[in-house]
Structure 1
Amino acid sequence: MAEPLRVLQRPKSLTALAADEIRGRIVRGELGLGTPLSENALALELGVSKTPIREALLQLKMEGLVSIQPQRGSFVFDMSPDEIRQLGELRETLEVTALDGAMKRRSEPLVAALTVIVDAMAEAVHSADNGRYRVLDAAFHRALFEHAGNCYLADCYGGFAFRIQALRARLCGDPALNAVSLRDHARLRDLIAEGDRDSARALLVSHMTRTIGDYLASMEQAAAAD
């Protein structure tokens, strides 16, 4: 009997590798909002030519993480308080819809996935691993879309998910906020398990509203410090 054909995995291109690195720095908060991005400096630092850097920046522009301004250059995206509120409104609309869709289907697989994530989040809070907590926070919310049964809804969320992660990075360094966040996520998991759709929806909305409020407050504090 003939052996099954192997599908060869192509190595990532230099453009993809550069995009991964720059994206990671933005999402982790290592590159601040509005930070200029020099093609020459990035090419030298990453050991590649300017071409893959330029192509990577174009890709990140499509993801909403980079702004390319004629005659000025490339910058990490920046958002005004009003734009952040609008993003929060869009996220709320999509995520509540995803929650409803996921709970109308068999909720057991979602609850199982969320339980694994919440347990890991608790470990991250206990060990003060803020970077790990940030990744798990994103995974929790992404799971709602993965179990909603609507690929178009997931695609819409994917269009700005990296922006949400980048903003989240500015908050996940605060242990007190992480503790409150963990409590919300654990309770939301429990409400989904109980099938209490109205309470789950209300908690999700209040969680997202508070997150936006915390971020706007941190912006005001940073502006006052300057």
Structure 2
Amino acid sequence: MKLTRPKSLKEMVVDELRERIIDDRLNLGASLSENTLAADMGLSKTPVREALQQLQLEGLVEVMAQKGTFVVRIGAEDVLQISELRKVLELAAIQLAIERNHEALVDIMSEIMVGMQLAYDTKDMVSYQKLDGQYHQAFIDLCGNKYLRDAYSQIAARTQALRSRLSRLTELNSRSIVQHHKVLGAIRTKDIPALLKELELHIEETKVAYLEVLEHGAMSERETETP
């Protein structure tokens, strides 16, 4: 039996702050105070500082000279560029995953899809969006190309932060669940043309939804202090 190394304090803080950013407990553009976060978690500043440095590498935190540390601000141009890169990487990854790990891909994505359908049916949109992220990450993980995985890791957290902020858009969710079923169906039958068409449409529709949310101010910069 393999033993699992316990997480370090820094890793636990990274996980906690990442979750707070992704699920919108920490708003986009929010100011981050090491002192406040450390007091909130009952920790010293050192693991908090190290965690913020890690989240900066993940693109979830930005440090502005003489201003401080903030949750990343995601504007329209960021959404466009993230969506462009998603198309390039996800369309390539899903074809490689089918070619190299088809059986495992179907098994893992089928299990995730069951959870997504249950979350959708019970209107648990927080769980739905988390599973949505796992759904897309599955074919990235199974593509068999570590450089592609590394490239995707540069946008994965920001994509999930955006995704979670769409959880109340009922019409988008209803289209999303259908699209995810279609993508999985095409994976099962190895229908590559249908698969690529459906996945590209899905990414494009979420891009448009992100831009609409930005335009209406729901994801605008809010200079709030860390709770």
Normalised TM-score (structure 2):
0.91
Per-residue displacement from partner, 1:80-125 (whole Å, max 9, x unpaired)?
A: 2012101110111000000111222352321222111111111001
Residue 31 of structure 1 deviates from its aligned partner by 1.2
Residue 7 of structure 1 deviates from its aligned partner by 6.3
Separation in 2, partners of 1:22, 1:151: 26
Q: Which has the higher contact order (CA 8 A, sep 6+)?
A: 2
Compare 102-111 and 33-42 and name the one that shifted more: 102-111
Separation in 2, partners of 1:199, 1:32: 37
Q: Unaligned regions of 5+ residues in structure 2, if any?
A: 223-227
Q: Unaligned regions of 5+ residues in structure 1, if any?
A: 1-5
Per-residue displacement from partner, 1:121-179 (whole Å, max 9, x unpaired)?
A: 11001111111101110111011112212122112111221111001011023233222
Corresponding residue number in structure 1 for 2:17: 22
Picking from 114, 118, 141, the partner of 2:113 is 118
Contact 2:29 / 2:73 at 8 angstroms: preserved in 1? yes
Structure 1 residues 8, 199: closer, same or farther in 2, change over 3 A?
A: closer
Contact 1:98 / 1:148 at 8 angstroms: preserved in 2? yes
- Pairs aligned (count): 221
* SS across alignment from 1:160: helix
Q: How does 1:114-193 map to 2 (within 5 A)?
A: 114-193=109-188
* SS across alignment from 2:175: helix
Normalised TM-score (structure 1):
0.91
Per-residue displacement from partner, 1:14-58 (whole Å, max 9, x unpaired)?
A: 222211111110011211111111111101100011121111111
Structure 1 residues 223, 48: closer, same or farther in 2, change over 3 A?
A: closer
Picking from 206, 210, 214, the partner of 1:215 is 210
Picking from 56, 76, 82, the partner of 1:87 is 82
* SS across alignment from 1:171: coil
Task: Please state if 1:194 is matched with 2:153.
Answer: no
- Structure 1 letter corresponding to 2:200: V
- Structure 2 letter corresponding to 1:84: V
Separation in 2, partners of 1:26, 1:89: 23
Structure 1 residues 138, 94: closer, same or farther in 2, change over 3 A?
A: same
Picking from 44, 48, 69, the partner of 2:39 is 44
- Structure 1 letter corresponding to 2:20: R
Identity score, percent: 39
Structure 1 residues 22, 107: closer, same or farther in 2, change over 3 A?
A: same
Separation in 2, partners of 1:10, 1:89: 37
Alpha carbon RMSD of aligned pairs, Å? 2.0
Separation in 1, partners of 2:11, 2:91: 32
Separation in 1, partners of 2:219, 2:50: 37
Structure 1 residues 40, 213: closer, same or farther in 2, change over 3 A?
A: same
Corresponding residue number in structure 2 for 1:3: none
Structure 1 residues 23, 106: closer, same or farther in 2, change over 3 A?
A: closer
Compare 32-41 and 215-224 and name the one that shifted more: 215-224
- Any runs of at least 4 consecutive aligned residues in structure 1 with deviations exceeding 3 A, and if so which? 6-11, 223-226
Contact 1:66 / 1:77 at 8 angstroms: preserved in 2? yes
* SS across alignment from 2:216: helix
